[in-house]
Amino acid sequence: MALRDYMLGNVDRLDGEGLARGARRGSEPYAVRCVRALGERDEDAAAEFLPTLLADPRTAMRVATANALGHLGRARSAAALVAALLVERSEEGRLSMAVAATRCGAPASEQRAALATFDSRVVATGGGPRAPSTVNGAGTLADRFDIACPDQDRRAIRQARKRDAKPDPNDEASRRGWMELAALRHPDDFDSMKSLLQSAGRRGEHALLAALGLHGDPRALPFLLHGLSATDVDPGRGFAQRRVCATALGRLALCAAVPSLLRALENEAADYEGRPGAGLGIQYPVRTNLLWALGEIGDRRAIPALVAHLGDEHGSPMGGFYLTAMDALAKLGPAAHSALRAAAANSGPGATHARTVLGTQ
């Protein structure tokens, strides 16, 4: 924790005014925790303060703010959430704003339809039109909208799901229970998931890591970073674990994860894909999830790596990495325009794909 965060105080002990101050002045993980805490307080002041953060340049803050407004459920917040959704580029932001708008009174059918339209988006590529949602493995936003049950009482749903999330995450029904509980994003559920990580088996551990990403608590960051770089597991487990952690880090959307994701991108190509006996990496390349995560976070530091993958048409059995890189760069918007223009001035598939992304902005 940064020194300024210590000076701002323990998030669990701050009053509403202190949480608002922390959201404005704390480090990104601390500010996100403050916003999440405000969403669990039935205070009118929080509902008035939070909409100003929907335009924050950091994805994690926009996501946390939308979720907090949804948990408060004030009807007057619906218009701000719908307006924010219209300009949101990240998938997690879109989902959170749609769920929150519904909890604040916007028609659920309209919000779900907007997500389904985004899910079915098609990108023009050198090889013809392709849908990014078919390769990122993150699941559709419309399905996740349904799991969040935004048109039902969150407290009642959470109590029911807590009963289904049993202490043995190695059981299939319990794993599903933890995933569905995490989708409700209540801060109090973080400690329960964390406590089970050490004793869970392979499938249980992967389910809990995925659930931590869905849950969105910044305190999950060190566990996910460890899972992304762990070298003490067998190859099959390692591929699955890195894939899960990459997606979960994208859902957390914290800028602090970017250096680790960029290192993992290089390591994956150099040390894992194509290694003898490591065929699982060829079947499901982790770089797809890493590129997706970098696009969700939307940090400028990722732009060179994303541009470098625009010409990769054969790096994976799913048709290379260019489609995920294009989608990620589109999420970055104007911040990536200079690099895209430079790439577009060259020749080859990378230049073609760069021009396509520019043409959609």
CATH number of the domain where residue 47 is located? 1.25.10.10
Whether residue 323 lies inside any domain: the answer is no
- Check: CB of residue 235 under 8 Å from CB of residue 274: no
Q: What is the pLDDT of residues 173-221, one digit of tens each?
A: 889 999 999 999 999 999 999 999 888 888 889 999 999 999 999 999 9
Count of domains for the chain: 1
Whether residue 204 lies inside any domain: the answer is no
Whether residue 16 lies inside any domain: the answer is yes
User: Alpha carbon of 75 to those of 39, 71, 83, 334, 352: distances in Å?
Assistant: 14, 11, 14, 33, 45
Whether residue 160 lies inside any domain: the answer is no
Q: Give residue 292's Cα distance to chain centre.
A: 9
Per-residue pLDDT of the chain (361 residues; tens, 9 = 90+): 678 999 999 999 999 999 999 999 999 999 999 999 999 998 888 888 999 999 999 999 999 999 999 999 999 999 999 999 999 999 999 999 999 999 999 999 999 999 999 999 998 887 788 888 877 767 799 999 999 999 999 999 999 999 988 888 878 888 999 999 999 999 999 999 999 988 888 888 999 999 999 999 999 999 999 999 876 667 677 888 999 999 999 999 999 999 999 999 999 887 666 554 444 444 568 999 999 999 999 999 999 999 999 998 876 666 789 999 999 999 999 999 999 999 999 999 999 999 999 987 7
Whether residue 170 lies inside any domain: the answer is no
What is the C-alpha separation between 196 and 211, in angstroms, rounded?
12
Whether residue 10 lies inside any domain: the answer is yes
The residue segments making up the domain with residue 15 are: 3-117
What is the C-alpha separation between 244 and 208, in angstroms, rounded?
10
Whether residue 172 lies inside any domain: the answer is no
Whether residue 80 lies inside any domain: the answer is yes
Q: What is the pLDDT of residues 228-281, one digit of tens each?
A: 987 666 767 788 899 999 999 999 999 999 999 999 999 988 766 655 444 444
